[in-house]
A and B are shown apart, each in its own frame.
Chain A
């Protein structure tokens, strides 16, 4: 390994600009003649728009134009995935117009677009728009949405059901339950979360009348996808007339994957007013417009034989979609959730039913982990409960049911085929690192200090590196999920890498540079990575689903294969050798068995200055593009162990130790990999202890609509993390990488909750829901059997 090659903890190339305030985020960009947009939004969860009077607002100072649903003449925002119900019928797919015409369906729905010379003027004018609403009853509850008598969000979605889907072999599962010695049952809520990337969403639309070209600057994780969706489905702008730029983006976590109304509105309206339009969300606006995450209500049952061997699993889940279908929403609680229900276990029969429902709430879509955290939480809570009921050791029941090391490739009963994994090793490493065996002495010591100490474990697996196009296509995806990469070797031998993935914190500018510099044997300083601009990058599907290295990196490897193949032919010509005899290593072409050699730089220069060149058989230049479509998902997994101390006086849970041992496949930059795990675990701890999105059941108002009430993890809420990796390589991509972006958020929540329950177990507490807030923990202690008995 070199100091900057694969496996080295190279300091990030992108940091200098961020540390000196020279990053360029969307809101930092200003276009000549720019105007500002304010979007007037519904204050009601559900209402008819009876009348809009914007006459006074139109003559307010600085106002350029005001548009309402009546003015909007283009298409709606599409859903990118179609799910079919058990009965074969397609999901209900209601229209999703960027500006509401006659009805609003959640607090925050777009009602009017006000464009003015300054943002303050646009906001001032919006106050003068007089809207008459006729309020309607609203439904926000996931569990009650399909019940008789609940408010109906869409007439076409009877009982608010979007789809009623299933996966697995029901008969085989029923048979497994019939022969079970014991069945463990659990009811769980995986609460709704607000992603809260620190950079609020923003968009600038800029139409050039001279060329007929539109440019959209936007806070997106996938500019090409936005171009595709907005251009083709919403505004009908052909790709060659639409440039989408996602510059520096301040975190995404899924919430910036989706195509949002504001992107279409500023692009559309910039042609109407013939000036650029900037829109930037205020945080309170993000809370009521950014797609939210999770929001499942589930019942699950696990059938076991008398020794605790898993025989079958039944799961029934209601998933909240919000008021509309966001871009990826339909696939999250289906193909990213139910397919994961085997987890790391050999459960032979699994049957899952998922009902997706509409409610008068903000849309729900992929949020870090997307479906896999929900599956993992359900499984790992259930397995812990099973161990308690079976009076088995929590670790032993897991070991007993692990898919063994030698069973790969392993076909699960819920569609996926795992290519590699080693769950025993990650478990043993985590047990050792966390001091699991010595825990009881720490519990006893804490008890002397009046604290309840607990330890919890989660052995998880996820599927990422999305995704094989043919597979997802057969499952309802309306797009391919390959990735594209280009390698441009410049005449002097330096390289610009173009990737269709997008970095918004993941450090691609460094990781990909390491991959390329290591493969081509050139200094890392000579490699720069470009991303985020549809005019620069041939194509791309973006960054989400922990796919950038496994899929995007593989596209770069394929492009480099082409570069090396061509370069060998040039080198062969220069060395007067046969191509078959040319070898390439450490940046030098050699001829086997001779002392002839040509450095990479000379070949690059020759390609662009082809004076001595096989011109009749090879074109000049050295630039190659590759599209890589993965053969399978990748399957990271591992063990997370959390140790907590609960203060019984206040109900406060403090995390005193957190250990994560993850198998993410090949690691290019361990520093960045650790950082990804830290961040993911922090979000998982946030879900377990702090964060939740609460809507008022009556009014449908978002009660946790600001950072004053929505509890984001702060530095003093979190511990230091013990992080390690153990790699089994992905067998089907050229790097061996699996993915690391989401493992932290997937593996950690059940480890935390299992630890809290373990801490409270001496009192007889067996359940606590997320987030385990001080109030909830205190209430659990007050209602605990041991406490009640003592009083």
Chain B
């Protein structure tokens, strides 16, 4: 990797200040994606601003009947949190299935969501649960957040501080992992809420997206069979060595059915 200046601010405000001063600076959260990227010399930031020392960005708390998770909370903490297990067990299960235990000990929810990796797990939960992304500047609705592959609504210098998840009636997540990388080839998060059924898909498209077909099928009948019967159009879905678009389309229905079956 190329060398860079390293900064470890103690507050989100200081972090924002450092980013404002250095146009070529990048934020590092858990580093699970960024550090491998730097090692491959695919990015060359002048400076790294490490959010790891900012206490205010860590922690899980009950809020307004739902859950608020600080951006720098590692996946392992979300997986093990009794608060999350009680309020949104599907979120805890999702966090407990990201990467591997070592990745879960370092990787953070904020880093995962900010990166909008097409195969990341969290974006599916954020979208399906209708979460709110809180930054140092504003609040962003999940539906407005994911813009494309590695693209989000975040502006330069904007830092995710926390994500708030409202409590659903029921939710479930099921993923089909890439056998090599263990990222999602397809992951489907289903949530039954007061406002209707929301279904978000990760791994299949350029970024996480909501599936209208599944939402409409599950709104009328929230059962695995109802999800499985939905034929997903393969056009525009990702295709690679491990999974063709047609296979992904098929897996979306299967994973949706399994997510419904697992929903609690």
Given known contacts A650-B254, A694-B241, A775 and B247 CB-to-CB distance under 8 angstroms: yes
* Interface locus among A518-526, A633-641, A707-715: A707-715
Please tell me if the beta carbons of B176 and A708 are within 8 angstroms of each other in the complex: no
Whole-angstrom distance between the alpha carbons of A61 and B80 in the complex?
48
Question: B98-113 toward A: CB 8 Å interface, digit per residue (1/0)?
Answer: 0000000000000000
* Contact present for B180 and A775 (CB under 8 Å): no
Q: Which residue, A710, A773, A775, has most C-beta atoms of chain B within 10 A?
A: A775
In contact, A709 and B241 (Cβ under 8 angstroms) = yes
Question: Is A717 positioned at the interface, with any CB of B under 8 Å from its CB?
Answer: yes
Q: How far is the CA of A127 from the CA of B40 in the complex (A)?
A: 13
Contact B181 A773 (CB under 8 A): no
Does chain A have a CB within 8 A of B38? Answer: no
Instruction: Determine whether B138 belongs to the interface, using a CB cutoff of 8 Å to chain A.
Output: no
Interface residues as binary, B16-34 with A (CB distance below 8 Å gives 1, 0 otherwise): 0000000000000000000
Q: Are A709 and B180 interface neighbours, CB within 8 A?
A: yes
* Alpha-carbon distance A743/B250, docked complex (angstroms): 39
When the two chains form their complex, are residues B247 and A709 in contact, meaning their CB atoms are under 8 A apart?
A: no
Q: How far is the CB of A685 from chain B (nearest CB, A)?
A: 12
Q: Assess whether A775 is in contact with B176, with CB atoms less than 8 Å apart.
A: no
Q: With an 8 A cutoff between CB atoms, is B88 at the interface?
A: no
Residues of A with C-beta under 8 A to B244: 775
Please give the number of chain A residues whose Cβ is less than 8 angstroms from any Cβ of chain B in the complex.
23
0 or 1 for each of B236-248: is its CB under 8 Å from A? (1 = yes): 0000011110010
Is the C-beta of A778 less than 8 angstroms from some C-beta in chain B?
yes
Q: In the complex the two chains form, what is the Cα distance from A710 to B242 in whole Å?
A: 10
Question: With A694-B241, A703-B241, A773-B242 as given contacts, are A711 and B180 in contact (CB-CB < 8 Å)?
Answer: yes
| Contact indicator B250/A778 (Cβ below 8 Å) | yes
- Would you call A774 an interface residue if the criterion is a C-beta within 8 Å of the partner chain's C-beta atoms? yes
Choice from B180, B243, B247, B254 contacting A710 with Cβ under 8 Å: B180
B181 touches A775 (CB 8 A): no
**Most chain A CB within a 10 A radius of its CB, from B241, B242, B251:** B241
| Mask of A750-791 contacts with B, CB within 8 angstroms, 1/0 | 000000000000000000000001110011000000000000
Whole-angstrom distance between the Cβ of A128 and the nearest chain B Cβ: 13
Complex contact A707–B180 (CB within 8 A): yes
A709 touches B181 (CB 8 A): yes
* Cα distance A302–B247 in the bound complex, in angstroms: 36
When distances are taken between beta carbons in the complex, the residues of chain B under 8 Å from A707 are: 180-181
Assembled-state Cα–Cα distance A120/B40 (Å):
12
In contact, A712 and B2 (Cβ under 8 angstroms): no
Contact (A773, B179) CB under 8 Å given A650-B251, A709-B241, A778-B247 = yes
Is A129 part of the binding interface, using a Cβ–Cβ cutoff of 8 Å? Answer: no
Bound-state Cα–Cα, A284 to B41, Å:
13
Determine the residue in chain B with the shortest Cβ distance to A771.
Answer: B179
Q: Which residue of the partner chain B has the closest CB to A704?
A: B241
B243 cross-chain contacts in A, Cβ below 8 A: 775
A187 is an interface residue with CB less than 8 A from chain B: no
Chain A minimum-CB-distance residue to B180: A711
Kindly provide the distance from the CB of A120 to the nearest chain B CB, expressed in whole angstroms: 8
Chain A residues whose CB sits within 8 angstroms of the CB of B242 once the complex forms: 709, 773, 775
Cβ of A690 under 8 Å from chain B = yes
Contacting B at CB under 8 A, from A252-287, are: 284
Contacts of B3 in A (CB 8 A): 120
Residue interface mask A710-752, B partner, CB < 8 A = 1:
1110000100000000000000000000000000000000000
Chain A residues with CB under 8 Å of B1's CB are 120
Q: Cα distance A120–B180 when bound, in Å?
A: 29
Of B179, B180, B181, which contacts A774 at CB under 8 A?
B179
Q: Check if A71 is an interface residue, CB within 8 A of chain B.
A: no
CB of A416, distance to nearest CB on chain B (Å) = 38
Residues of B within 8 A of A127 (CB): 41
Interface string of A5-43 (1 = CB under 8 A from B): 000000000000000000000000000000000000000
For A690, the closest partner residue in chain B by CB is B179
B254 neighbours in A (Cβ, 8 Å): 649-650
Considering the chains assembled together, what is the distance between the CA atoms of A120 and B38 in angstroms?
13
List chain A residues, Cβ under 8 A from B247. 651, 775, 778-779
Q: Which parts of A668-717 form the interface with B (CB within 8 Å)?
A: 690, 694, 703-704, 707-712, 717
**Contact B250 A712, beta carbon cutoff 8 Å:** no
Residues from chain A with a CB closer than 8 A to the CB of B179 are 690, 711, 717, 773-774
Nearest A-chain residue to B182, judged by Cβ: A714
A contact residues around B40 at 8 Å (CB) = 284
Q: Which of B2, B176, B181 contacts A650 (CB 8 A)?
A: B176
Tell me the residues in window 175-229 of chain B with beta carbons closer than 8 Å to chain A beta carbons: 176, 179-181
Contact B181 A708 (CB under 8 A): yes
Residues of B within 8 A of A649 (CB): 254
Given known contacts A774-B176, A778-B247, what 11 new A-B pairs fall within 8 Å (CB)?
Answer: A120-B1, A124-B2, A650-B251, A690-B179, A690-B180, A709-B241, A773-B242, A774-B179, A775-B244, A778-B250, A779-B247
Enumerate chain A interface residues (CB-CB to B < 8 A).
Answer: 120, 124, 127, 284, 649-651, 690, 694, 703-704, 707-712, 717, 773-775, 778-779
